[in-house]
Amino acid sequence: MRLDRFLAGKISELSRTRLKALILEGEVEVSGRTVKDPEYRVNAGDEITVEIPEAEPAKPSGEKIPLDIVYEDKDLIVLDKPAGLVVHPAAGNRSGTLVNALIAHCGASLSGIGGEKRPGIVHRLDKDTSGLLVVAKNDKAHRSLSAQFADHGRTGDLSRGYLAFAWGVPKPERGTVDAPIARDPRSRVKMAVRKGGKEAVTHYEVLRKYLGADGKPVASMIECELETGRTHQIRVHLARAGHPLLGDSVYGAGFQSKAALLPQKAQAALTALNRQALHAFRLAFSHPTTGKLLSFESKLPKELAVLEKSFKKA
């Protein structure tokens, strides 16, 4: 058996990625000899020693940013992310992110995920998507939650539900979009349905229909359930089906003129929204330590609630 796989089976507190990094850094000895090859074949009788360095301070710094915490224990945090908050520091967003806020909030309770004292980002929401997000506080929780998200709920309790306000009404009103997604070759900021892309499956159901000024259906509220977790998945799939999200300037730019079909109050609410109308309202998963099912729901944030109330219902 490979050395990294062997250690992953023996040291459950650390992820295989972290153990592989320790091997490459020369922190693993086999029978008194330093081995830096993760593919080294472990033999019967080998004596293996792993030196785990003290976690380094996080590269991102802590910042006191308000957090809407729904649930927290020693292993994880579930929070309700507002639109406009970037999840992780990156080019153009080195500060003011969710990670910066979590480092400040958690303090010494964070373990050394990946060799740094930082929260473990298991999944992400787009900057301008609001809703529920779970974050690991230690490596063991990170490993368990990552496995659940990688499985996409096919064999476990993981469930992710979104509420989307889209142009038009999909036909049929309940169904599945199964279309692979990859980077759009014409734009660095967009994804697209492309042959050879990664598998992407979205289940949807129309919950409500909204009437335009002429009394005909012009938009709808759609519940989406993810079976996979690709970048911009719901936005791409609904746009490909001809029903881009309201307020989505990336995938729904061609539908901006449709705002004139909305009632006056809905037009004003959409103008004030200034982001795509997408909210992660449901999240369920197995607790990484107890195995207990944890399930959470989030109400529409104020700006989406105002939009919803401004419509004329069919």
> Where do the structural domains in the chain lie, given as residue ranges?
3-50, 55-151, 161-280+307-313
pLDDT at site 128: 95
pLDDT at site 178: 97
Q: Which of 269, 265, 259, 255 is nearest to 307 (CA)?
A: 269
Distance CA 92, CA 95 (A): 9
Residue 218, both tokens: 């012009």
Percent share of the chain, pLDDT over 90: 71
CATH topology of domain 161-280+307-313: Pseudouridine synthase (3.30.2350)
Strand ranges for the chain from DSSP E = 28-30, 33-34, 48-50, 69-72, 76-81, 112-113, 116-117, 120-121, 130-136, 159-167, 174-178, 181-183, 191-193, 201-211, 217-226, 278-286, 293-297, 312-313
Higher pLDDT, 38 or 17: 38
- Ranges 83-92, 269-278, 304-313: which has the least confidence: 83-92
Distance CA 35, CA 20 (A): 11
Residue 112 in this model has a pLDDT that exceeds 70: no
Average pLDDT over residues 75-80: 97
Alpha helical stretches, state H, the chain: 3-10, 16-24, 98-106, 139-151, 233-240, 264-273, 302-310
Q: Which of 111, 10, 75 is nearest to 285 (CA)?
A: 75
CATH class, 3-50 region: alpha beta
- Ranges 45-49, 157-161, 243-247: which has the least confidence: 45-49
The backbone torsions φ and ψ at residue 233, rounded to the nearest 5 degrees and listed phi first, read -55, -55
Q: How far is CA 270 from the centre of its chain?
A: 25
Average predicted confidence (pLDDT) for the chain: 91
Residue 57 in this model has a pLDDT that exceeds 60: no
126, 128, 139, 248: the active-site residue: 126
pLDDT at site 187: 86
CATH topology of domain 55-151: Pseudouridine synthase (3.30.2350)
Domains 55-151 and 161-280+307-313 share a fold: yes
Average pLDDT over residues 155-183: 96
Residue 222 in this model has a pLDDT that exceeds 90: yes
pLDDT at site 190: 92
Residue 58 in this model has a pLDDT that exceeds 60: no
Residue 152 in this model has a pLDDT that exceeds 70: yes
Within 10 Å of residue 147's Cβ, how many Cβ atoms? 15
> Is 126 known to be catalytic?
yes
Average pLDDT over residues 175-187: 94
8 A C-beta contact, residue 300 and residue 309: no
